[in-house]
Structure 1
Amino acid sequence: AELIVGDNPASVAYLQRRFGDMMRATSDAEALAGKRTLTQDGMITQSGEYDRIKPTLLANLKIGAGDDSQREALSNEISHLKATIKGYTAKLETIKALIGNLQRISSEEALKYMLDAYDEMHTARNTATSLRARLNDSADVEYVRLNNVVAELELQVNKLTSQVNEWQINIGRAEEKLKQCNNQVAEARNRWDLAQKDFKEIEGNDAYDRDFASRQWDALLEKFDEQYVLMKEHCVKQRSASNAEMTNAINRGSKEVGTFREKYREQGVIGADDWRKDREWIGDLLKRLRDTDLVEQDAKMKEAYKASQDTFRADVAIALSNNIDHLEKSMNRLNHVLNTCPVFSNGERYRFTRTVRPQ
């Protein structure tokens, strides 16, 4: 009772007389240990028995000067009661309408059916009320048992809290790892799609050699098996070497094409820096020469060659004949001179001779 304090002396004195030797209890053990105790949730214990006190609405308090909070509570209660009256009024109108409808029912069988249904409903309501009362009577013992169960469960919850927290941390890490893995899978799938797209474009290229690619792939599998990282590094090195070799070949080819254009005064492809266009131009030029110009020039060349042979033979024969005649005349003149000359010291004479071979 000494815990009761307030601004109104009359109210404080009244409550102290009412509670007398009653003590406040904060736990079930304190409530059961005292002679008369009052728990914080409104349970009065007397001689080991519990008595539940229904909390009094603030608007129903009879003692006190009536502060602002009480007036506010009364206003809220008035609003609630007005709403309740309105609801009951609507129900009353519904009941009146129902009574009017029932008065128009003349069949005794229908009335009997409705009365029986009402009796069954009334019996069920009484049964529910009885069961509710029995439940309230046994609530005190059940309340103590439930409190003990709650205490045990709280101990178990405290023990499991740390483990649950650890599991939650692990779950968070696993979810983050799963998210990273999903991102990696999505990235790998995108790279795979791009690789497939590039591969299809390469296969559609006219310069793609399927047999060569198949042989190279078999060689890679034989050398590296499933070591795809090493396989990739090897392919990157081979690509660099092939690019360097291709660049050198393009430079040499461009130089040769330039020399060819300058030597044969060919214009070629104007403003083209692509060796493929130069290759196409050379191919077209060779095809045109083989299919048209070279055929005509070959016949002319053979005709000119035959004419040159005939001309050469005729000119050579005439020249040889003239030279032989001139040589014969020269030899005759020399021999005539030698015959008219005196003999040498030993009486010898010299002359030029020739032997004519039969044809």
Structure 2
Amino acid sequence: MLLPKKHSGSDFTIFSEMTALAQKHDAVNLSQGFPDYEIDERLKKFLAEGTEKNFNQYAPMSGNPLLIENLMEFNQRRKIEVSKENITVSPGATYGIYTALASVISFGDEVIVLEPNYDSYVPAIEMNGGKPVFVSLNEIFEVNFDALQKAITEKTKAIMINSPHNPSGKIWTKNDWEKLSRILENTEIILISDEVYDVLTYDDQEFFSAFHHPKLSERCFSIFSFGKMFHLTGWKVGYVLASEELSLAYRRVHQYLSFSVNAPAQYALAKYLEVFDVKENIKTMQNKRDFFLHQIQDLPFTLNEKAEAGYFQILDFSNISDLSDKDFAIWLTEKAKVATIPVSAFYHDQKNTGKVRFCFAKKEETILKAVENLKAFL
């Protein structure tokens, strides 16, 4: 049967591939970005409460009113002024990215992608008829704004931004957003801003959203994930901030895809926002990052920069092997029994980087087992 291939992505993502390899070889899985520790017991209680209170039918298209209200208050506390017209709850951030693109791009439009980038961006662009245009970040994962400006053409419809960044953990500064605003000043280019690690920033680093910027907020979709915020990736719930005009365009597509999002989960998330301690959340995850870095300090990897945010730490393995990063990740999984992600997977041309990405959002015993395996082999 002849079926169309809608995008240039692989049939199985690198995350599925490395997780399957980890399972096959009984390796510690530090590849995929999901925690292996329990979620907050209050979330479980609120979820059960949601079903008991009969939040079991379709929720409103834009989201549960209590969740919308609590999101307004949560964002206002961090100086992001939004109204209910600016918020749409989504079945996960990846869905939010896809739907934002579907709502604004037409066949042949160009979308600039800053790479390395999360692997769903390019297929989402291509499935909506767009053409990805790649601009590489520099060696320390900062934006070359001259290169970005040169990549803009009359066909450029949107730019994909990711801050805090996956895989590096780099955070855009207030000055970065201002530079971008100046570049876009006389254009109608739209921003698709993936900000799913917004509440996981370390060492007193400050998070800035595209929605913090008064001019950019009128031309952006800022996309967030409760899965990352609250460490419950399997719930697949997120939310999107956009201007009233862009929210209307988003919902025009959203209503014909999922229409609404898991109702009891929305209730649980709304209630949890009322007790959520951002500082404690940051402290917990920074401790996990620091624990991982302390444990691997005697291994022959090279740490170029500590992750500023997120779930992941990139390490250089050039002192260990001259294999490509993909081959090294496979070799490490099969022989040392520790699964990672090659950083080349985040580039469209799969270029070798000599680096792999580790997930530190794990229990301490998981990290200790991984380090034990690595020390026994390397």
TM-score bracket for this pair, using the shorter chain length: under 0.3
Name the one with the larger strand percent.
Answer: 2
Name the one with the larger helix percent.
Answer: 1
TM-score (norm: length of structure 2): 0.19
Ranked by relative contact order (alpha carbons within 8 Å, sequence separation 6 or more), the top structure is: 2
TM-score (norm: length of structure 1): 0.19
